C-alpha cells in the first residue's frame, strides 16, 4: 500500500500552536515532517528537503502562502508536489486566489485526523500516478522521436529509390506532402527510352510503415522496367504480380498509370481504384477516365487486366490525377470536399490557371488549412509537342553515365533448364546496367531473343526453317519444337557478352554458341521482303537474321552456324534526334 | 448573536488523543500566544493599524478554532472583518469581548492540564 | 491467350488484338483468330496497341495471314503499334506488304 509508506511533509504556519498540532498529527500518522513559520522559510527548505506534500497557511508574515505556493510549484517543475492550503474557510475570494497560485486542496480548521489521512493518501496516489504517467509520456516521447528519426532515415532511402524520376519535367506539376510516403501515397514519373514517359500515382491502404514498404518494390519495378523500355501495361502487370505476392490480403494499392507519347500525341490511361482521372481538353471540354479496374495487388496475374485506354490528345491538353485524399479532405464541420466541389472548382477556374493550382487552392479554402499538413497527392501533365519535351528527356542518360562500362560475362544454360527457363530477361538486365544502353533496350532485346531462338530451335533442337513454308508447316514446326524441348538433354546455349567504352559511346559484343550440329545460315537469310514482294513464294521465316543484321553492326556465323557473333556499337544521345519514329 | 459553544469538547478530546504527552505543551503555547495576540490587537488599535489588527485577529481565529474554542474563533472573525473594513472604532468592543471569552477559555483549559 | 477478335457490324472487318508479347507462343491462337468463321470478312485489322514486343516468328505469322487473306490482294491493316514494334516492322520492310497505321 502506498498509504503506508512514510511521506516527507513540509509545513509552513506562523501560529505556534497550529504548527504544533499539525506536526504532531503528521508524525502520529507515520510521516516525516519539517515545520516552518512562514512561506519564505518553506521556499528556502524546499530544494534540499524535496517534500512529497506541502501544507501552507495562507496568511503568514514575511511571505504568505500564495506567494510560497507559486515559488514551490515553479521549483517542482513537471513533478507533481501537491500543495494543500490550511484555512478556516471564510473568504471565497481568498480560496480562489489559493487555487490560482497552484493550490491543490484545502484543509479546514479544526484539523480532523481522518480527513487529513484520507487527503494525504489520495494525493500520494495521485503523485504516484503522475510519476508513472510522466515516465510513460517520456518513454512515448522518446519512442516517437526514434520513430521520426527512423522515418527520416527510411525516407532518405526511399527518396534514393523513388524520386530520381522526371517529376521535375517542365510539363509536370505535382503536389505531395513531404512525408506522403507514410500516408501510403506514391508518385513516380520516368522518361521512356524511346520517348515519352510513364507516370504512376497511387495510394496504399493503411498508413505508416506498412504502407511505405509496398512502395519500394513498386518504385524499383516502375523505374527499372520503364527505363528498359517496357510499356505501361507490362509495368502494371509486374507491379500487380509483385504486390499480390508480398502484401497481406486486404492491403493493396489504388493507382493510376499513364503512358504519354508526345510524338503521336496520345495518352494511355489505366485507372484502378483512384478518383476519376480528368483530361482537360484545350479550350474547356473535360473527359473523365473513371476507375475501371481493381486496385493493384488484388487479382492474380491470370485475371489481372492491364488494358490501358487510348486517348488522342493535342498540345495544350492537361491530364489531372489525384489520390483519395483530395476528395476526402475535410473542413471543420467534418464535411468532405467531394466530387461536386471538385467539378465546381474546375468549372469556375480562371482561364490560364493551371488546374492543379485551382484544385489545391479550392481545397485549402475549403478546409481552412494553411500548413502543409495534408494527405493530398496531385499531379498534372501538360501534353506538349515532342520537340519541347525532348530536351528534358535527354538529360537523363547524361546524368547516368556512371555505371559498369568495361565488363565481360559468360552465361550458359544447360540440359533441361533449356526447356524451363529463358535467360533473356537476365541478360537484358545485365546489359541495362550500362546507363547509355538503356535507350537501346528494344534493340538489345531483339538481338538476344533472335540469337537465342536460332540457337535453340535450329541448333539444339535441330528444327529446319524449311518446315515453315505453309500454315500447317508452321503448326508442325511449333508442335515439334515443344516435343523436342521436353526431351532435350546434354545440350547447352552459351552467351558471352563483352562491353567496352568507345570515344563516341560503347561497344557490346554478343556471342551465342550452342551444342547443336549447326545450321545452314547462309540459305536462311532473306534479302528483304521488298525484293520478293509480288512473288508468291515469300518465305515465312528467316527474318530473324535480317533483323539482327540491320540492328547490329555486324553479324558473323562460324562453326557451321553454331556460333554467332554480333557487334553492337552505340553512341551517346547528346545530339541524336529523338528515336526512330 | 453568537450561538457557538464556548468549548468544543469533541475537538479537544481528539487533540488530547493526538497530542498525547505534548498536549500540555500545546495548551501552554496556545495560552501564551493568545495573551500576546490580545496585546497586539490593543496596540494595533492604539497605532491605528487596521491591517495589523486584521492579521492578528485572523491568526488568533485559526488557532482558537483548532484548539476547540469556536466562540472565541467567531469573535476573532468579527475582529478580523472590522480590521479589513477599516472599522477600528468598533474594534475596542470586540477586543473586550475577546478578552472576556479568552479568560473563560483559559480557566477551562487549565483544568485539562495535568 | 491474350488474343481477342472483334467483327464489325457488317461482318466485313475482323479486328485481331494481341495483348503482350507477339511471338511463337501465340502462333496457334493467332491462326485460330483469323481462320474461324470468316466467310464475309474482306479486311483484317491487327490491333497492336497492347502489343509490347514482336519477334521474327511473329513476322512470319503476319505473312501467313497475308497469304491466307489473298496475298497481294489482301487488305490488312496493322495499327496502333508502339515505337519498338513499328521499328521491327520498318526494318523488315513490312510497310511494303501491309498498311501500317
Q: What is the DSSP letter of A296?
A: B
Q: How confident is the model at residue A322, as a pLDDT? A: 93
Instruction: Tell me the three-class secondary structure of A300-319, residue by residue.
Output: CCCCCCCCCEEEECCCCCEE
For chain C, the farthest-separated pair of C-alpha atoms sits apart, in whole angstroms, at 35
Interatomic CA distance for residues A58 and A63, integer angstroms: 10
**Confidence tier at A90 by pLDDT (50, 70, 90):** low
Task: Choose, out of A540, A564, A577, A581, the residue to mutate when testing the contact with C (most C CBs < 10 Å).
Answer: A540
Contacts of B58 in chain A (CB under 8 A): 59
* CATH number, domain B30-112, options 3.30.750, 1.20.120, 3.30.70, 1.25.40: 1.20.120
For residue A112, the SS3 value is: coil
| Nearest partner of B31 among B107, B95, B114, B100, judged by Cα | B107
Give C30→chain A minimum CA distance, Å: 11
Domain(s) of CATH 3.30.565.10: residues in chain A: 400-571
Grid coordinates of B79: 475582529
List CB contacts of A150: < 8 A, sequence separation 6 or more: none
The CATH architecture annotation of domain A163-393 reads 4-Layer Sandwich (3.60)
Residue A379 predicted with pLDDT over 70 = yes
Strands A407-414 and A309-312: unpaired
Interatomic CA distance for residues A54 and A65, integer angstroms: 10
| CATH 2.40.128.20 for the A400-571 domain, yes or no | no
What size, in residues, is chain C?
A: 101
- Give A108's strand partners: A87
Domain(s) of CATH 3.40.50.2300: residues in chain A: 2-133
The fold of the C3-100 domain, in CATH, is Transcription Regulator spoIIAA (3.30.750)
Is A381:A188 a contact under the CB 8 Å cutoff? no
List CB contacts of B107: < 8 A, sequence separation 6 or more: none
H helix intervals, A247-293: none
Grid coordinates of A142: 522518446
ipTM: 0.90
Interatomic CA distance for residues A458 and A452, integer angstroms: 10
List CB contacts of A85: < 8 A, sequence separation 6 or more: A55, A56, A57, A58, A65, A69, A95, A98, A103, A105, A106, A107
Asked if A301 reaches chain C (Cβ–Cβ under 8 Å), the answer is: no
Residue A275 predicted with pLDDT over 60 = yes
Give B99→chain A minimum CA distance, Å: 19
Question: Hey, are the CB atoms on A17 and B67 less than 8 Å from each other?
Answer: yes
- Based on its alpha-carbon atoms, the radius of gyration of chain C, rounded to whole angstroms, reads 12
Domain boundaries, chain B: 30-112
Interatomic CA distance for residues A336 and A343, integer angstroms: 14
Burial environment of residue A372 by CB neighbours within 10 A (0 to 12, 13 to 18, 19 or more): exposed
CATH code: domain A2-133 is 3.40.50.2300
Helix pair angle (A543-551, C56-68), 10° resolution: 130
At least 3 CB pairs under 8 A between chains C and B: no
Question: Hey, are the CB atoms on A110 and B11 less than 8 Å from each other?
Answer: yes
Asked if A577 reaches chain C (Cβ–Cβ under 8 Å), the answer is: no
Distances (CA, A) of A244 to A218, B31, C5, C20: 12, 90, 29, 20
Question: Hey, are the CB atoms on A529 and C97 less than 8 Å from each other?
Answer: yes
**Confidence tier at A528 by pLDDT (50, 70, 90):** very low
Q: How confident is the model at residue B114, as a pLDDT? A: 62
User: Which phi-psi region, left, alpha or beta, contains residue C62 (left: φ > 0; alpha: ψ -120 to 50)?
Assistant: alpha
Contacts of B11 in chain A (CB under 8 A): 110
For chain A, the farthest-separated pair of C-alpha atoms sits apart, in whole angstroms, at 130
Q: Residues in chain A whose beta carbon is closer than 8 A to a beta carbon of chain B?
A: 14-18, 20-21, 24-25, 28, 57, 59, 61, 86, 88, 90, 109-113
H-run or E-run covering A455: none
Q: How confident is the model at residue A394, as a pLDDT? A: 43
Strands A32-36 and A53-57: unpaired
Contacts of A308 in chain C (CB under 8 A): 50
Domain boundaries, chain C: 3-100
| Nearest partner of A461 among A443, A483, A476, A439, judged by Cα | A483
Q: What is the pLDDT of residues A281-325, one digit of tens each?
A: 987 789 999 999 999 998 888 889 999 999 999 888 999 999 888
Q: How many CB atoms lie within 10 A of CB A25?
A: 20
Q: What is the pLDDT of residues B71-95, one digit of tens each?
A: 999 999 999 988 988 888 888 888 9
Q: How confident is the model at residue A531, as a pLDDT? A: 41
Amino acid at each position: 500500500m502506498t498509504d503506508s509508506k512514510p511521506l516527507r511533509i513540509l509545513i509552513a504556519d506562523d501560529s505556534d500552536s497550529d504548527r504544533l498540532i499539525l506536526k504532531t498529527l503528521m508524525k502520529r500518522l507515520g510521516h516525516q515532517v519539517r515545520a516552518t513559520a512562514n512561506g519564505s522559510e518553506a521556499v528556502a527548505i524546499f530544494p534540499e528537503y524535496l517534500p512529497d506534500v506541502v501544507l501552507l497557511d495562507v496568511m503568514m508574515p514575511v511571505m504568505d502562502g500564495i506567494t510560497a505556493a507559486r515559488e514551490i510549484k515553479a521549483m517542482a517543475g513537471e513533478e507533481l508536489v501537491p500543495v494543500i492550503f490550511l484555512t478556516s474557510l471564510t473568504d471565497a475570494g481568498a480560496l480562489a486566489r489559493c487555487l490560482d497560485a497552484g493550490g491543490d486542496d484545502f484543509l479546514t480548521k479544526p484539523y480532523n485526523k481522518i480527513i487529513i489521512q484520507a487527503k494525504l493518501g489520495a494525493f500520494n496516489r495521485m503523485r504516484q500516478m503522475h510519476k508513472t504517467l510522466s515516465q510513460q509520456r517520456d518513454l512515448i516521447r522518446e519512442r516517437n522521436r526514434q520513430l521520426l528519426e527512423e522515418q527520416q532515415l527510411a525516407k532518405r532511402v526511399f527518396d534514393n529509390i523513388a524520386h530520381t524520376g522526371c517529376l521535375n519535367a517542365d510539363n509536370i506539376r505535382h503536389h505531395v506532402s513531404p512525408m506522403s510516403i507514410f500516408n501510403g501515397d506514391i508518385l513516380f514519373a520516368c522518361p521512356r527510352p524511346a520517348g515519352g514517359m510513364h507516370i504512376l500515382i497511387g495510394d496504399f491502404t493503411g498508413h505508416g510503415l506498412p504502407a511505405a514498404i509496398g512502395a519500394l518494390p513498386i518504385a524499383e519495378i516502375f523505374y527499372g522496367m520503364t527505363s528498359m523500355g517496357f510499356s505501361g501495361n507490362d509495368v502494371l502487370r509486374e507491379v500487380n504480380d509483385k504486390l499480390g505476392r508480398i502484401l497481406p490480403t486486404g492491403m493493396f494499392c489504388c493507382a493510376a498509370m499513364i503512358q504519354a507519347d508526345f510524338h503521336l500525341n496520345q495518352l494511355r490511361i489505366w485507372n484502378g481504384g483512384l478518383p476519376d482521372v480528368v483530361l482537360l481538353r484545350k479550350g474547356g471540354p473535360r473527359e473523365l477516365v473513371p476507375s475501371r479496374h481493381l486496385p493493384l495487388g488484388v487479382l492474380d496475374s491470370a485475371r489481372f487486366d492491364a488494358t490501358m485506354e487510348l486517348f488522342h490528345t493535342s498540345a495544350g491538353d492537361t491530364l489531372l490525377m489525384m489520390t483519395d485524399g483530395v476528395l476526402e479532405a475535410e473542413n471543420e464541420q467534418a464535411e468532405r470536399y467531394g466530387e461536386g466541389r471538385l467539378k465546381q472548382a474546375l468549372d469556375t477556374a480562371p482561364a490560364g490557371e493551371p488546374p492543379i493550382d485551382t484544385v489545391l487552392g479550392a481545397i485549402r479554402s475549403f478546409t481552412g488549412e494553411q500548413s502543409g499538413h495534408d494527405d493530398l497527392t496531385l499531379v498534372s501533365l501538360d501534353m506538349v509537342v515532342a520537340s519541347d519535351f525532348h530536351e528534358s528527356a535527354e538529360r537523363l542518360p547524361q546524368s547516368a553515365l556512371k555505371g559498369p562500362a568495361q565488363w565481360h560475362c559468360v552465361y550458359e544454360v544447360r540440359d533441361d533448364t533449356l526447356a524451363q527457363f529463358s535467360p533473356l530477361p537476365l541478360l537484358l538486365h545485365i546489359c541495362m546496367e550500362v546507363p547509355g544502353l538503356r535507350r537501346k533496350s528494344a534493340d538489345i532485346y531483339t538481338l538476344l531473343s533472335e540469337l537465342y531462338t536460332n540457337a535453340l530451335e535450329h541448333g539444339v533442337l535441330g528444327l529446319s526453317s524449311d518446315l515453315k513454308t505453309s500454315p500447317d508447316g508452321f503448326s508442325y514446326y511449333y508442335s515439334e519444337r515443344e516435343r523436342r524441348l521436353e526431351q532435350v538433354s546434354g545440350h547447352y546455349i552459351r552467351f558471352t557478352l563483352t562491353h567496352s567504352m568507345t570515344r563516341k559511346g560503347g561497344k557490346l559484343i554478343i556471342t551465342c554458341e550452342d551444342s547443336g550440329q549447326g545450321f545452314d545460315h547462309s540459305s536462311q537469310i532473306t534479302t528483304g521482303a521488298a525484293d520478293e514482294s509480288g512473288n508468291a513464294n515469300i518465305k515465312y521465316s528467316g527474318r530473324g537474321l535480317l533483323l539482327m543484321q540491320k540492328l547490329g553492326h555486324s553479324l558473323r556465323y562460324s562453326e557451321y552456324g553454331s556460333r554467332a557473333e554480333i557487334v553492337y556499337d552505340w553512341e551517346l544521345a547528346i545530339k541524336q534526334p529523338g528515336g526512330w519514329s | 448573536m453568537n450561538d457557538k459553544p464556548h468549548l468544543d469538547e469533541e475537538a479537544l478530546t481528539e487533540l488530547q488523543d493526538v497530542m498525547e504527552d505534548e498536549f500540555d505543551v500545546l495548551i501552554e503555547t496556545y495560552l501564551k500566544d493568545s495573551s500576546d495576540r490580545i496585546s497586539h490587537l490593543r496596540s494595533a488599535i492604539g497605532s491605528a493599524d487596521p491591517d495589523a489588527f486584521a492579521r492578528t485577529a485572523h491568526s488568533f481565529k485559526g488557532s482558537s478554532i483548532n484548539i476547540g474554542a469556536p466562540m472565541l474563533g467567531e469573535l476573532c472573525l468579527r475582529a478580523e472583518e472590522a480590521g479589513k473594513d477599516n472599522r477600528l472604532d468598533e474594534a475596542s468592543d470586540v477586543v473586550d469581548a475577546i478578552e472576556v471569552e479568552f479568560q473563560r477559555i483559559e480557566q477551562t483549559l487549565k483544568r485539562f492540564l495535568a | 491467350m491474350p488474343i481477342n477478335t472483334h467483327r464489325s457490324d457488317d461482318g466485313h472487318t475482323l479486328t485481331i488484338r494481341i495483348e503482350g508479347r507477339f511471338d511463337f507462343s501465340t502462333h496457334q491462337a493467332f491462326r485460330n483468330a483469323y481462320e474461324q468463321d470468316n466467310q464475309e470478312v474482306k479486311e483484317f485489322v491487327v490491333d497492336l496497341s497492347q502489343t509490347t514486343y514482336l519477334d521474327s516468328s511473329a513476322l512470319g505469322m503476319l505473312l501467313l495471314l497475308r497469304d491466307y487473306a489473298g496475298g497481294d490482294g489482301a487488305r490488312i491493316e496493322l495499327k496502333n503499334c508502339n515505337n519498338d514494334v513499328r521499328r521491327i516492322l520498318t526494318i523488315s520492310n513490312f510497310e511494303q506488304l501491309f498498311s501500317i497505321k
